[in-house]
Structure 1
Amino acid sequence: MEKPGTPSSEQSDKAKKYDRQLRLWGDHGQASLECANICLINASATGTETLKSLVLPGVGAITIVDDAKVTPKDIGNNFFVDGESIGRPRGEVALHLLLELNPDVRGTFVDQAVDEILDNQPDFFSPFTCVIATCLPESTLLSLSKVLWDANIPLLVVRSYGMIGYIRVQIEEHTVIESHPDNEMPDLRLDRPFPALQKYMDSLDLETMDSKEHSHVPYVVILYKTLQQWNQRYGAPPKNYREKKDFIQLVKEGMREKESGEAEENFEEAMKAVNTSLMPTRIPSGVESILNEAASNTLTPSTRPFWIMAKALHEFVTSEGRGALPVRGTIPDMTADSEKYIKIQNLYREQAAQDADWVLRRVLELSQQLGPRKVMITESDVKAFCKNAHALRVLKGKSIAEEYKGSINLGDIGAHLENPESELVWYVMLRAVDQFHSEFRAYPGYFQDQVETDIVRLKVCVNRLLADWGCGPIIKDDFIHEMCRYGAAEVHSIAAYIGGCAAHEAIKIITAQYVPIHNTHIYNAITATSATFTL
């Protein structure tokens, strides 16, 4: 039995503690999370809820920048302050309670206004993996946006305003290797089998197999043999629904009846798998665009590992791969005898290893030509890249400062606003209340005795903003009244929901797994609906 405190037992304890999330992003994703250093600007209800959902899964370190003191208003909506803390630094109180959630996380507090930091310490944010900002006036947000954009540090703006939630992701370029696509199709290559697979399946003869062997041959063999018959008759694999229906009938004709009178399960599996297993082997258009971009890039010592591997992958496709990506090396479960299933499984794995080795050798050659690098590319990196090559993603972002200066798709905005149910109207309202705040130093409806006046003022701000975009005054007065009714209040339930969503986006960016939103997300708690817009 291992003694307590050994590395193995510590790893075991960590695996138990983080079991559910390890199933989502694996050990390497957890390692990235534990190395991350997150900065939160303002420990508001939304800010602390966002940070809570990063502390619990074990982010490495957090820093809270907040010069505010705890007020009775904070007590009403922020779970990370209490009545005894009124008058104390809000960030310090919140940090203490957040760190109690997970002793693995380190934390610091900076009792300073972000404006002062931006003016006097321009390099303050350089150590951070990601910065999360809440409750910032427009002028401060734009200054922060520019600093972080120039430093290539991801920024998440998170906001709950009454019944509305808002997330804006600012990142110049985000590359994703493990995008975990939904409804992933198996990579069986039945239309163009690699030599070892073709040789093995050609060696099997379904006609001469006894009943037991026939009912346990993997369905990938059944589909391959049937496809050969089909191609001899028609010259090309089935393409449309009618042809695939006829193909399924051809598979059925090769089925034998078992002694029990039941149908052979492996043939039934083959018929069900026709639509997913006979997909033509081709490179998805998005991946092809990435490879073409990589081929045209001039590599430098500062080039990110993703683009070096993409360049090597492009060379593989145009040479060794003969127009196809590396074999993934995984196959679905099948009703089959162990010997044949393991044999076929190993054939796919071995071919995947050969393809990855080719790419790895080319990556090492390219890296050697570039000279010393800060980030080394490992063999496991290349294997993961090749395995997930069919689902590579690259997001090209836009800075918030650029967006606010009018560099947005005005045509799309006008089209959305013509739809009375579009959530984009709340984006317009949030932009308008920020302009209202810049002009009057308070949010509309914040002072109860000025609500009627603020409604008129906010309507002016909305129409002015729409006029700048070339849109008519098409926002209903109901939305303006609603925003004034909110008075910039943070409702805890909305803050908790949107904070959890923002934490998910931060984890996607940190682990480089899954695809983050691109670039604006609006949540409407009134209708329990949400939408994502690229602005």
Structure 2
Amino acid sequence: MSSPAPKSPEQSEKSKKYDRQLRLWGDHGQKFLENSKICLINATALGTEILKSLVLPGIGSFTIVDGEKVTDDDIGSNFFIESDSIGMSRAQVATQNLLELNPDVRGDYIDESVDHIMAHSQDFFDTFSVVIATCLPEKVLMPLSRHLWEKNVPLIVCRSVGFLGYIRIQVKEHTIIEAHPDNENHDLRLDNPWPALKEHLDKVDVTKLDNKERSHVPAVVILYYYLAQFKSKHGHLPKTRAEKEEVKKMITESPPPDEHGIKNLEENFKEAIRYINTCINPIKIPPNLQAILEDDSCINVNQNSSPFWVLCAALKEFVEKEGAPPLKGTLPDMAADTSSYITLQQLYQKQAQTQCEIIYRRALEIARNLGLSQETITESEAKLFCKHASELHVIRGSCIADEYQKTRVDLTSCLEDPDSLMFHYITLRGLERFISEFNSYPGQLDDHVEPDVLKLKGIIGKLLGEWGCSQIIRDERVHEVCRYGGAELHSVSAILGGCAAHEAIKLITLQYKPLNNTFIYDAITSTSASFTL
């Protein structure tokens, strides 16, 4: 009978509840989420789907702003509106039902229209982490966009109508520390090891290890040994494919033959071969980091600079001196005995801590010289920053109000592409202007949509003329939008709601690169596209 598996450490109730998402953005990301305040404008089907996907992972609080009453259309499309709620405040009903999803989240509502709040208390929106607006007419969106842009509050504008969905993110400046790149090479520094690492690696002569020792030595040690052999022969590290193949051959032929004359390559030696293509290239400053170090906000920090830019200023000095970003300090899992692996791991961790301490102390000095509080930058923030220094990104967006006044996209070339979804964006822009002019959706008030088709087509033609575009939108595409009558389909809103919630989480946690800046979803063809407008 087999012995029972050892028990894993006890998890807290919170860790059990949020286990899967903690694996994505960690405790520090979850803390950002739990301290966030979200404002949702209009509890439409799309709006409640977005909030659902934010309430479940545990945002701190939300406030719904919506002056509408529940109608039959809401009951048909919105899963968070009950059939006996007709005539009641839509904001109140949605808030009550959303709060049932997660007792950790606080929720409130204001039974007023957003234009009423803007007229009486514009600063109401200033304290939110993110403002999310659905189904806003153009005349209301413009002043809201301007105000939030000036206050540097992120704004996510969404619309779901029929089989179409649209997301537009407005953010003045967004800094990302943990971009979580899809392909991340291990930072081993074998091309230029620091003295302590070099001393440790030089102690091992792989050719003199017995069979037991061969299978226990870490792959990094093996790779370093054969790189040294190659360098002593050629005077440099392998650069070309042929040179790397030569190192692979040296490792492949290294094991002594067994009693049958067969050479069996151990798993750690196979790992060393796999690391050749990714772990021996000279450490370079990645383009994204170089752009940040050359940014004016990094070069000229001042009293208004965020902790991110103060750390960047310290990092810039470090990189200029060392010629490389700070060491990450992590090792991949390796086939090795525990003692050898831990000894190697401690060397990397110690060097990373030493470099981080240099950057942290310099950042505190810069902050002090600027008259900023010493609590502006914490040690934990500095450690995270240094660990992910190569992943840093800055996104500077554009104001929606500016976009509506003058688009920066070459619409003609986009519309010449039959597969481009840009025509949906133009149609939706025409739809928003139609709503502002006629106070209803095209096709909403009459079963015969042809009169509204002509009106919408005229509005779209006028928009294209304002943008200097000679292309036209085909009649059947305009007719299709009018046929929707402004109706929301829950399945489309659910998909779009999940996408918008993901983007909000990226903005809140400062992790992963958010959309920049427009996303369009076509449920008829199950295709999507993003544009920078």
**Please, what TM-score do these two structures have when normalized by structure 2?**
0.94
The worse-fitting range, judged by mean Cα deviation, of 338-347 and 170-179 is 338-347
Q: Does 1:515 align with 2:517?
A: no
After superposition, the Cα gap between the structure-2 partners of 1:296 and 1:332, relative to the gap in structure 1 and judged at 3 Å, is: closer
Q: Which residue of 2 aligns with 1:96?
A: 96
Identify which of 305, 308, 315 aligns with 1:306.
Answer: 308
The worse-fitting range, judged by mean Cα deviation, of 168-177 and 237-246 is 237-246
- Please list every run of 5 or more consecutive structure 2 residues that lacks an aligned counterpart in the other structure: 1-8
How far 1:36 sits from its partner (Å)? 0.7
Do the aligned partners of 1:256 and 1:264 also contact (CA within 8 Å) in 2?
no
Q: What secondary structure, in the 3-state scheme, does the structure 1 residue paired with 2:395 have? A: strand
Q: What secondary structure, in the 3-state scheme, does the structure 2 residue paired with 1:510 have? A: helix
How far 1:294 sits from its partner (Å)? 5.8
Q: Which residue of 2 aligns with 1:22?
A: 22
Do the aligned partners of 2:298 and 2:310 also contact (CA within 8 Å) in 1?
no
Q: Does 1:479 align with 2:477?
A: yes
Q: Which residue of 1 aligns with 2:318?
A: 316
User: In the alignment, residue 491 of structure 1 is paired with which amino acid?
Assistant: L
Q: Aligned partners of 1:259 and 1:50: how far apart in 2?
A: 66
Q: Aligned partners of 1:233 and 1:445: how far apart in 2?
A: 79
Q: Which residue of 2 aligns with 1:269?
A: 271
Q: What secondary structure, in the 3-state scheme, does the structure 2 residue paired with 1:14 have? A: helix
Q: Aligned partners of 2:147 and 2:130: how far apart in 1?
A: 13
Q: Does 1:176 align with 2:172?
A: no
Question: Identity across aligned pairs (percent)?
Answer: 52
The worse-fitting range, judged by mean Cα deviation, of 195-204 and 258-267 is 258-267
Give a deviation string over 1:208-251, Cα, whole Å, max 9, x none: 22222123221111211222222233333333433333332222
Do the aligned partners of 1:30 and 1:511 also contact (CA within 8 Å) in 2?
yes
Q: Aligned partners of 1:374 and 1:216: how far apart in 2?
A: 46
Give a deviation string over 1:191-217, Cα, whole Å, max 9, x none: 111111111111111122222212322
Q: What secondary structure, in the 3-state scheme, does the structure 2 residue paired with 1:324 have? A: coil
Q: Which residue of 1 aligns with 2:425?
A: 427
After superposition, the Cα gap between the structure-2 partners of 1:341 and 1:294, relative to the gap in structure 1 and judged at 3 Å, is: farther
Which residues in structure 2 correspond to 1:385-534 (within 5 Å)? 385-409=385-409, 411=410, 413-534=411-532
User: In the alignment, residue 86 of structure 1 is paired with which amino acid?
Assistant: I
After superposition, the Cα gap between the structure-2 partners of 1:191 and 1:309, relative to the gap in structure 1 and judged at 3 Å, is: same
Q: Aligned partners of 2:57 and 2:450: how far apart in 1?
A: 45
Q: Which residue of 2 aligns with 1:163?
A: 163
Q: Does 1:280 align with 2:302?
A: no
After superposition, the Cα gap between the structure-2 partners of 1:215 and 1:435, relative to the gap in structure 1 and judged at 3 Å, is: same
The worse-fitting range, judged by mean Cα deviation, of 227-236 and 428-437 is 227-236
Do the aligned partners of 2:66 and 2:113 also contact (CA within 8 Å) in 1?
yes
How far 1:164 sits from its partner (Å)? 1.0
After superposition, the Cα gap between the structure-2 partners of 1:276 and 1:256, relative to the gap in structure 1 and judged at 3 Å, is: farther
Q: What secondary structure, in the 3-state scheme, does the structure 2 residue paired with 1:124 have? A: helix
User: In the alignment, residue 132 of structure 1 is paired with which amino acid?
Assistant: I
Q: What secondary structure, in the 3-state scheme, does the structure 2 residue paired with 1:198 have? A: helix
The worse-fitting range, judged by mean Cα deviation, of 477-486 and 279-288 is 477-486
The worse-fitting range, judged by mean Cα deviation, of 470-479 and 66-75 is 470-479
How far 1:13 sits from its partner (Å)? 1.3
Give a deviation string over 1:146-190, Cα, whole Å, max 9, x none: 111111111011211111111111110000111111121100111
Give a deviation string over 1:232-272, Cα, whole Å, max 9, x none: 33333333433333332222132334679532221111112
Q: What secondary structure, in the 3-state scheme, does the structure 1 residue paired with 2:427 have? A: helix
Q: Aligned partners of 1:296 and 1:382: how far apart in 2?
A: 16
Q: Which residue of 1 aligns with 2:126?
A: 126
Q: Aligned partners of 1:466 and 1:251: how far apart in 2?
A: 64
User: In the alignment, residue 301 of structure 1 is paired with which amino acid?
Assistant: Q
Do the aligned partners of 2:367 and 2:374 also contact (CA within 8 Å) in 1?
no
Give a deviation string over 1:429-473, Cα, whole Å, max 9, x none: 111111222233222222333411122222222222222222222
Q: Which residue of 1 aligns with 2:115?
A: 115
Q: What secondary structure, in the 3-state scheme, does the structure 1 residue paired with 2:126 have? A: coil
Q: What secondary structure, in the 3-state scheme, does the structure 2 residue paired with 1:335 have? A: coil
After superposition, the Cα gap between the structure-2 partners of 1:269 and 1:378, relative to the gap in structure 1 and judged at 3 Å, is: same
After superposition, the Cα gap between the structure-2 partners of 1:176 and 1:257, relative to the gap in structure 1 and judged at 3 Å, is: farther
Q: Aligned partners of 1:499 and 1:374: how far apart in 2?
A: 40
User: In the alignment, residue 304 of structure 2 is paired with which amino acid?
Assistant: S
After superposition, the Cα gap between the structure-2 partners of 1:125 and 1:77, relative to the gap in structure 1 and judged at 3 Å, is: same
User: In the alignment, residue 506 of structure 2 is paired with which amino acid?
Assistant: K
Q: Which residue of 2 aligns with 1:198?
A: 198
Give a deviation string over 1:67-88, Cα, whole Å, max 9, x none: 0000011000001111111000
Q: What secondary structure, in the 3-state scheme, does the structure 1 residue paired with 2:125 have? A: coil
Do the aligned partners of 1:165 and 1:495 also contact (CA within 8 Å) in 2?
yes
User: In the alignment, residue 97 of structure 1 is paired with which amino acid?
Assistant: N
Q: Aligned partners of 1:447 and 1:227: how far apart in 2?
A: 76
Which residues in structure 2 correspond to 1:5-404 (within 5 Å)? 12-257=12-257, 262-293=264-295, 297-319=299-321, 322-373=322-373, 376-404=376-404
User: In the alignment, residue 518 of structure 1 is paired with which amino acid?
Assistant: N
Q: What secondary structure, in the 3-state scheme, does the structure 1 residue paired with 2:239 have? A: coil
Give a deviation string over 1:280-324, Cα, whole Å, max 9, x none: 2111011111012167532222210000001101111112xx210
Do the aligned partners of 1:445 and 1:486 also contact (CA within 8 Å) in 2?
yes
Give a deviation string over 1:12-48, Cα, whole Å, max 9, x none: 1111111111111111111111111111000000001
Do the aligned partners of 1:244 and 1:274 also contact (CA within 8 Å) in 2?
yes
After superposition, the Cα gap between the structure-2 partners of 1:383 and 1:149, relative to the gap in structure 1 and judged at 3 Å, is: same
Q: Aligned partners of 1:26 and 1:525: how far apart in 2?
A: 33
After superposition, the Cα gap between the structure-2 partners of 1:132 and 1:190, relative to the gap in structure 1 and judged at 3 Å, is: same
Q: What secondary structure, in the 3-state scheme, does the structure 1 residue paired with 2:12 have? A: helix
How far 1:407 sits from its partner (Å)? 4.3
The worse-fitting range, judged by mean Cα deviation, of 477-486 and 323-332 is 477-486
After superposition, the Cα gap between the structure-2 partners of 1:463 and 1:234, relative to the gap in structure 1 and judged at 3 Å, is: farther
The worse-fitting range, judged by mean Cα deviation, of 461-470 and 193-202 is 461-470
Q: Aligned partners of 1:306 and 1:471: how far apart in 2?
A: 41
Q: Aligned partners of 1:258 and 1:41: how far apart in 2?
A: 73
Number of residue-to-residue matches in the alignment: 523
User: In the alignment, residue 421 of structure 2 is paired with which amino acid?
Assistant: E
Q: Which residue of 1 aligns with 2:4?
A: none
Do the aligned partners of 1:211 and 1:258 also contact (CA within 8 Å) in 2?
no
Q: What secondary structure, in the 3-state scheme, does the structure 1 residue paired with 2:447 have? A: helix
- Please list every run of 5 or more consecutive structure 1 residues that lacks an aligned counterpart in the other structure: 1-7
Q: What secondary structure, in the 3-state scheme, does the structure 1 residue paired with 2:122 have? A: coil
After superposition, the Cα gap between the structure-2 partners of 1:488 and 1:198, relative to the gap in structure 1 and judged at 3 Å, is: same
